[in-house]
A and B are shown apart, each in its own frame.
Chain A
């Protein structure tokens, strides 16, 4: 088990290194020159060189990359002379736009994205699994059909479409909910929840639909297993059979999906955050793209990759808990 964990953690580091390397290369292969952008229109060659040096862009790519990676573990000083900036561990560089540390920017935005992802995940799991399991247990009934038609339709709705409808329907027409404005959980939990309810819904509808389909399939498959018949033949109450025997094994594929989705969502809710004006990581990313703020883009990419690999590991470990047949 410990050995397995160690191997996985090492593998994770490898993946993150690869992601960083690819992102880094990308910026250099594709035509873009942040120094020229920072220099502006009235730019002399000497000034451009100076800016390049400050940004560390004059070094060869592999050197820049090595500096970047060591910076994460040891911190580093960016630039030279009076403009030198000290960047503490974990140093992800400084934003070109507002000279803030990328790490600080990310830490600053993380609670918003985490709130969005967590709430939406709870909502979609509750909705999706309930719908999926209900449909599976009443296979081919009217309920099943209605739920599945609804799920197929909902899964086809793009998130920006649902969001606009929700904003229009629930905010402007009825005035039931406030226009989302992020309130930190620590200051006012009810306000936090009521403000985030709409974005949660917008995200959850899409995922709930997918999960309903997935869990219905998984559940039908599981309930046809011989050991379910055995459990039933032993005279166990239906509830026990469904929950303890059926759900537990049937949810393994759903768990895989959940890990990937949740990991991806922490930085992947770019559209939702932009539409609802939530100052999360997705919006930071979108903003950084429009201004060509490469350190921030790199930072967000790395963070997103970290979430994905961590979520994957968590899921694999959870398997052992959920499914007694899995051993490491």
Chain B
């Protein structure tokens, strides 16, 4: 049985990064400090602005993929035989994989489907799964973590065992197995659930630790003495204290979720064609690496940029919201 990594006695909690110097400069006001720090951080780090813009762009795609995709004038599953050359094995006509005024990012070989439309709709699928899975993980993880930390005793023992057990599962192997055994079910929904299923112990541990350290603070004791019931204390006193680390941890978790979705789709057990998803597009693009590199590069770069942007954003948020960290 996996146990929690032993925290070395009274020594330092392992792991967390001290805040980089950029983050400590702004004056700290305990009440509204977090957002002030976020704004200060935004002003300081140019990379943060860029990653925020990238995240906003892809988030917009997630919300309004059909609208944005329609800008290019093509549907994601619309064939355009005039854009590919039948005498060259269906390679796109024109430079850079068929980039033209009509097809902004070129077209897919053989079918001539518009890459811009497919990338935008692929973003919707990829990010929707990643966000939904993250939501599940945060909800389940926070609930379990707070329950384990606050109520302690048997609740804690059972939940901690469950966390250990989940973490001992070979998650990628298991996800692949589950996805491939499942037949004609809603792939997107199943994938969200499967990815979410293996993520919650991480959050739960962070929350549990945080709850443990909060539950005997003076203000919580005061609330208890003042007659607040456990639910009120959990909602009004514990939850706000847990929120910071959870937000930071969550943002750092999103890139992992996106990468997992892409990996599953890449292996052919994710969403099924013709629904586009980045991982699946990359898998198809590998075969055309020599002849039509654009087809491989466009979805790869999208994936890379999104993951990078979320990582940078998560780093910054962690520095602000959770300076002494709660990572493993």
Chain A residues packing against B (C-beta within 8 Å): 8, 10-12, 14-15, 18-19, 22-23, 26-27, 30-32, 140, 152-153, 155-158, 160-161, 164, 168, 214, 216-218, 220-222, 224-225, 249, 252-253, 256-257, 260, 264, 267-268, 270-271, 274-275, 285-286, 289-290, 297, 300-301, 304-305, 307-309, 312-313, 315-316, 319, 323, 325-326
Q: Is B174 in contact with chain A by the CB < 8 A criterion?
A: yes
Q: Do the beta carbons of B17 and A158 come within 8 Å of each other? A: no
Q: Do the beta carbons of B1 and A301 come within 8 Å of each other? A: no
Contacts of A12 in B (CB 8 A): 1
Contacts of B267 in A (CB 8 A): 270-271, 274, 286
Complex Cα–Cα for A11 and B14 (A): 25
Q: Do the beta carbons of B169 and A224 come within 8 Å of each other? A: no
Complex Cα–Cα for A95 and B259 (A): 31
Q: Do the beta carbons of B181 and A305 come within 8 Å of each other? A: no
Q: Is B214 in contact with chain A by the CB < 8 A criterion?
A: no
Q: Is the interface of A mostly helix, strand, loop or mixed?
A: helix
Residue in A23, A160, A275, A300 whose Cβ sees the most chain B Cβ within 10 Å:
A160
Complex Cα–Cα for A27 and B165 (A): 20
Q: Do the beta carbons of A308 and B15 come within 8 Å of each other? A: no
Known pairs A152-B312, A157-B304, A252-B14; A315 contacts B5 (CB<8 A): yes
Contacts of B325 in A (CB 8 A): 217
Q: Is B68 in contact with chain A by the CB < 8 A criterion?
A: no
Q: Do the beta carbons of A221 and B12 come within 8 Å of each other? A: yes
Q: Is B137 in contact with chain A by the CB < 8 A criterion?
A: no
Contacts of B178 in A (CB 8 A): 26, 30
Contacts of A253 in B (CB 8 A): 5, 14-15, 327-328
Q: Do the beta carbons of A305 and B263 come within 8 Å of each other? A: no
Q: Do the beta carbons of A304 and B173 come within 8 Å of each other? A: yes
24 contacts between A and B (CB under 8 A): A11-B2, A15-B1, A15-B164, A26-B181, A157-B304, A218-B15, A221-B12, A221-B18, A225-B11, A249-B8, A252-B5, A253-B327, A256-B5, A268-B170, A271-B266, A275-B286, A285-B173, A297-B177, A301-B174, A307-B170, A308-B2, A316-B3, A316-B6, A325-B8
Q: Do the beta carbons of A156 and B308 come within 8 Å of each other? A: yes
Complex Cα–Cα for A285 and B180 (A): 11
Q: Do the beta carbons of B168 and A308 come within 8 Å of each other? A: yes
Closest Cβ–Cβ distance, residue B46 to chain A (whole Å): 12
Q: Is B125 in contact with chain A by the CB < 8 A criterion?
A: no
Q: Is B296 in contact with chain A by the CB < 8 A criterion?
A: yes
Q: Is B282 in contact with chain A by the CB < 8 A criterion?
A: yes
